[in-house]
Amino acid sequence: MSWADLNLMPALPEIFLLTALSVILVLDLFLSDAKRGITYGLTLLTLLGCAVLTLTTWVPYPETTFSGMFVDDPVSDLAKIGLYIAVAVTLVYTRQYADNHGIFKGEYYTLTLFSLLGMMVMVSSSHFLTLYIGLELLSLALYALIALKRDSTPALEAAMKYFVLGALASGMLLYGMSMLYGATGSLFLVEVANDIASGQANSMLVVFGIVFVVAGLAFKLGAVPFHMWVPDVYHGSPTAITLMIGAAPKIAAMVFVWRILAQGLGAAVADWQMMLVVLAVLSMALGNITAIAQTNLKRMFAYSTVSHMGFLLVGILAGTEAGYTAALFYILVYVLMSLAGFGILLLLSRAGFDCETLDDLKGLNQKNSWYALLMLFAMFSMAGIPPLAGFYAKFAVLKAAVDVGLVWLAVVGVVFSLVGAFYYLRVVKCMYFDEPNDEPVPAARPDMKLVLSLNAVALLVLGVVPDSLLTLCVDAMKQSLSVVAGA
């Protein structure tokens, strides 16, 4: 293919992001700390520009470029819109925190945009090489973000743990991909899928490749028993970076898993389904049970994330269009819940004080009833209590399991969802029934209060009328999978 025949339109948002990122990186060199708000504003404008370009190039069918290694399809477009919103909300929530804790720097915003670029490449890759490049771009940016606060020993320790374990997981993933290449002779997801479906692939190598690939994917999701990095990284990182790790990257990780397992290894569903069943059960069990013992909210959210990844895997392991759709809907709702929960912690933090423990939330209703209500929405949604969005998200993935005959797995999911409700309701109890502590509620920026209110109320709205978001997920998944099936 000549350069004249190369169609760059499918990758236009990524090209724009990289260009804008380079401009911001250079411009920030000439800005003093007092003018760092310009970098913040330009970063948000960049996200807006990416959203406009993504919506402009949105078509109801896949378009490929770079010799078929990069695909722009409805699933990637929907995921990218979710990524822009999640990153923008994260930046709004962390603006004041970053200023108070000494990380309001140009590096914070440029590394965030680099991580976003990695996420965008991950969700639009149709080739193992581009999948891996996107993953590493995201990971390297996150390692640096965690260690951004160089005078914080816990942050540096968290960055080192994440780096070492992340390198190990990347090696396992790459080794699995090399085995699949040896079994099929191709790195293109569609060709790998066709070779496996037609029986031309080496079945023994395919199975071994799947084992290593699933292990690598489980680490990136934080599923048990590859979850060891999650609580330490969540706890050691500054709360702003913890939110950066725990929200937007989960969307990219879900689509990343879907690309590999559904599009590349869909014909070998019998080989990876039971592996995901084990990962899902262990994640739901250990995540929810261990979270009960946590008094630090960031560690509690870490184990909560592990349990939620278990529910996400329930949707994926169904191996059906309905299951993949439920998983996509679940991860979008989960990100909204995570943003709202961490948003309250960031709002209640100030210079010299981080809101991190249950005691820090005691009597919040008496000090500010609106903030307490917003946190209640987030906790009830995470617990899966109707009419919040989390209830419908869990119902959708469990229904997908029931539809493929895994009734026992759905029962396990319901049981551990009830177990998990204990520690979420404990947070509500602290806010509404305990005596307030002496910590004042700090003044928050108006934009943060507005976005946080909209974020939490959206959990209620999506719980009452989930069809708006669910229809987008159904259409995106159907259009993307129909072409894969046709290929």
Which tokens is 54 given? 């993504």
Contacting residues for 362 by C-beta, under 8 A, at least 6 apart: 430, 431, 434, 435, 436, 437
| pLDDT of 272 over the 80 cut | yes
Q: Can you tell me the mean pLDDT for 254-282?
A: 92
| pLDDT of 29 over the 80 cut | yes
The mean of the pLDDT values for the chain is: 91
Contacting residues for 129 by C-beta, under 8 A, at least 6 apart: 69, 187
Residue that is written with structure tokens 């929907």 in the block: 78
Phi, psi (rounded to 5 degrees) for 200: -80, -20
Query: Could you write out the DSSP letters of every residue in 302-322?
Result: HHHHHHHHHHHHHHHHT-SHH
Which of helix, strand or coil describes residue 68? coil
**Per-residue pLDDT tens over the stretch 223-242:** 998 888 999 999 999 999 99
CA dist 140 and 161 (Å) reads 13
Which tokens is 227 given? 């979850």
Q: Can you tell me the mean pLDDT for 195-202?
A: 88
Total residues found in the chain within this entry = 487
Which tokens is 86 given? 């999640």
Q: Identify the CA nearest to 331 among candidates 386, 270, 396, 412.
A: 396
CA dist 311 and 392 (Å) reads 12
| Residue 487 pLDDT level (bands cut at 50, 70, 90) | very low
Percent of the chain's residues with pLDDT above 90: 75
| pTM (two decimals) | 0.95
Which tokens is 31 given? 């800005």
Q: Can you tell me the mean pLDDT for 313-332?
A: 94
Residue pair 221/309 in contact by the 8 Å Cβ criterion? yes
**Per-residue pLDDT tens over the stretch 65-85:** 888 899 999 999 999 999 999
Sign of CA dihedral 26, 31, 33, 38: negative
pLDDT at 7: 78
pLDDT at 220: 87
* Range with lowest mean pLDDT among 24-33, 41-50, 275-284: 24-33
**Per-residue pLDDT tens over the stretch 301-315:** 999 999 999 999 999
Which tokens is 99 given? 């200023």
CA dist 486 and 44 (Å) reads 39
Q: Identify the CA nearest to 255 among candidates 72, 410, 396, 417.
A: 72
CA dist 334 and 390 (Å) reads 7
Q: Identify the CA nearest to 409 among candidates 419, 397, 420, 418.
A: 397
| pLDDT of 486 over the 50 cut | no
CA distances from 297 to 234, 284, 341 (A): 10, 18, 10
